[in-house]
């Protein structure tokens, strides 16, 4: 089996296992130097027909992400339910608030 055939077979297998599941991705961003702010984003993703979609407020948008990026960067939280509204969550903290919350 050639490498390209192996890669394709692996993607097909992964897509079948990931199909219809709901994934979350949480990212932290620091903005500024002296008056630092910490922004926390929580996004939702699902896989349909082997393609990765971002889910936000009842809409699905193709992301162009690979299945591998979903496996390595996201956490599976259950099954995707199209009738539910999954909304992107965003919180902003000052640096000192973030440190207190996380007991730094």
Residue 61 and residue 53 in contact, taking contact as beta carbons nearer than 8 Å: yes
Angle at CA 21, nearest 5°, toward 70 and 68? 20
Give the model confidence (pLDDT) of 30-68 as tens digits. Answer: 888 767 899 999 999 999 988 899 999 989 999 988 888
Mean of all residue pLDDT scores within the chain:
86
pLDDT at 2: 61
Supply the pTM of this predicted model.
0.78
Domain positions in the chain: 3-101
């Amino acid at each position: 089996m050639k490498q390209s055939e192996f890669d394709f077979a692996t993607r097909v297998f992964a897509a079948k296992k990931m199909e219809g599941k709901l994934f979350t991705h949480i990212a932290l961003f620091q903005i500024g130097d002296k008056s630092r702010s910490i922004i926390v984003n929580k996004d939702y993703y699902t896989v349909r027909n082997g393609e990765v979609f971002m889910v936000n407020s009842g809409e699905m948008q193709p992301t162009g992400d690979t299945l591998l990026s979903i496996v390595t960067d996201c956490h599976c939280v259950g099954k995707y339910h199209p009738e539910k509204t999954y909304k992107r969550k965003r919180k902003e903290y000052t640096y000192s608030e973030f440190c207190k919350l996380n007991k730094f």
